[in-house]
Structures are given as structure tokens and as C-alpha cells.
Amino acid sequence: TPDLGTYETLELDLTDHVLTLTVNRPKALNALSQQVVVDLWKALTAIQDSCTHDAGWPVRGVIVTGAGGKAFVAGADIREMSAMDPDTASEYGRSMHAVTLLLEKVPVPVIAAVDGFALGGGCELALACDFIYASEAARFGQPEVNLGLVPGFGGSVRLPQRVGLGPARELIYTGRQIDAAEALRLGLVNRVLPTRDELFEAARATLAEVIGKAPLAVGLSKQSIAGAVGRRTSKGLEVEAEAFREAFTTADMQEGTAAFLEKRKAVFIGR
């Protein structure tokens, strides 16, 4: 087995050439703390480096998921963000942008297996995967406006790319959650499976199908799809990074994150 590293916040399991990458902070519903972002970056870099003939191509497909059964990932870490200044927040957003770009770059298919909440940064992490499979318990949304924030991990770019401008605007402006059936109807997810077990079975079956093909051809296909949208994506991420930073200069962002942590309704003042 190849050495893909060990991580404080991630679990890695390599079986039959499929690497399952599990974000493992169930007590915080797998929120993407700064440590998770660093760990994701390192793990994906190790995967990227292993994807060559000389390194033996140990990983031919990846499943990204969350531990605990209640959430895929409930977003960026609100506790950490509530104490961030705009420069630190900007660094945080950009480092997760780099992770999402790496997910699009690794030359093997990456499926997000979503069981439970995929909100904010969680939905954005799923959107950076090649496609999403969901269980019936999956919930998606970009709730940033509830917190005085904006999507900061690529959602303002990749959600419209995936579902079109109208549905993306409605989801982002309302902060509304949608269920798996609605996500399927919008084309946000490719498939919905009844249970968590069936979700993983389906993801593994699809990856097994891909693993029977020529790895370089699959990698080149992925690269050309990413290339077709890549320039728009990186320009869009630049604009998003500015907006994400700007949100951290507002009183409403202080109020929104504090209200979440104090488990009360936020009172916004437009400043």
C-alpha cells in the first residue's frame, strides 16, 4: 500500500483502488476547520503524486464523505470564522479554493457521497467533486446569508455552473435547504439512493466501472472537461474571494456568527 499520509481530521481507506476520504469531526458535523483544509490539501497532493505509472496508480477513484452519519459537512467552521479578521478569512477562503481546484485536477474520478447535511462549505466541497451521489437523508444549501456571509469556497461559481443561474440565485439569496429529491430535480446530484449503505455501494460500483477503463484516457477526459470551464472558474473564484473578505468587515457578520453560536436568531442592521 502507498503512503498517502495520516491526518488529524481525515480518515483514509484504500480498497480495490478506491480511496475513501472521510472528513472526521462528527462533533462539529465535520465543519471545515483550518486544520481540515490543510489536511485535505496534503492528502490530495499525495493522491495527485501517486497517480502515475511509475508510482503504480494505487488510487483510481476517490469517494469524499463525512463521518458520523448526520452530516456530510455542515460548512466552514463558524466558531473559527467568528473570530477571524478579513485578512485571515481571506487566507482561509483562498486555501479552500486551492483544495477545490486540486479536486478538479486529480486525474481520477471523485464522487461526493452525501448523507445528511451538505451546507455552505459542505455543499461547495461536494460541488468541487466530479459529481454527487446522495442518500435520501441528504440536505443541501448555501446558508451563508443567515450568518452575514457569502459563499466563500466556490459556491457562487460552481453552483450556477451545476444547476444554472436561476436556481443558484434562489438558493444563495434565501439560504434555503433542499432535500435529495429537489437536488436530483435540479441536477445538483446525479443519483439518490435510499440508504447510506446503498449510497456507498452505488459510488463504488460506478468507480469500479471506471477503473476498468484506460486510466490515462479517464484522466485526460477529466482534464479536458476542467479545461473547458477552468478559466471561468478561476476568474469567478477571484471575484468570490473579494466578496468573502468584504463580508468579514461587516457588523452583520459578527452578529450572524455570534447568533449561531449562541443558538438565537440573528438581528441584522445592514452595516
Residue 78 binding ligand CAA, by CB under 6 A: yes
Given strand 131-135, what is the order of strands in its sheet? 10-15, 18-23, 61-66, 110-114, 131-135, 191-193
Selected from 19, 21, 23, 31, the binder of ligand CAA by CB under 6 A is: 31
Contact 172, 120 (CB under 8 A): no
Size of the site for ligand CAA (CB under 6 A): 22
Catalytic residue from among 124, 170, 182, 246: 124
Taking the least distance from each CB to ligand CAA, the nearer of 99 and 207 is: 99
Nearest residue to 245 via CA among 109, 149, 145:
149
Active-site residue 124, yes or no? yes
Per the residue annotation, which of 8, 11, 104, 144 is the catalytic one?
Answer: 144
Closest CB 195 distance from ligand CAA, rounded Å: 20
The yes or no reply on residue 119 touching ligand CAA (CB under 6 A) is yes
Q: Which of residues 133-162 bind ligand CAA (CB under 6 A)?
A: 143-144, 147, 149, 151-153, 155
Instruction: Select 51 or 127, whichever has its Cβ closest to ligand CAA.
Output: 127
Contact between 115 and ligand CAA by CB under 6 A: the answer reads no
Nearer to ligand CAA, 30 or 50 (CB): 30
Is residue 144 part of the annotated active site? The answer reads: yes
**Judged by CB under 6 A, does residue 171 bind ligand CAA?**
no
> Which is closer to ligand CAA, CB of 57 or CB of 140?
140
| 28 contributes a contact to ligand CAA by CB under 6 A | yes
**Which residues of the chain form contacts with ligand CAA (CB under 6 A)?**
28-29, 31, 74-79, 117, 119-121, 124, 143-144, 147, 149, 151-153, 155
Instruction: Cite the active site residues.
Output: 124, 144
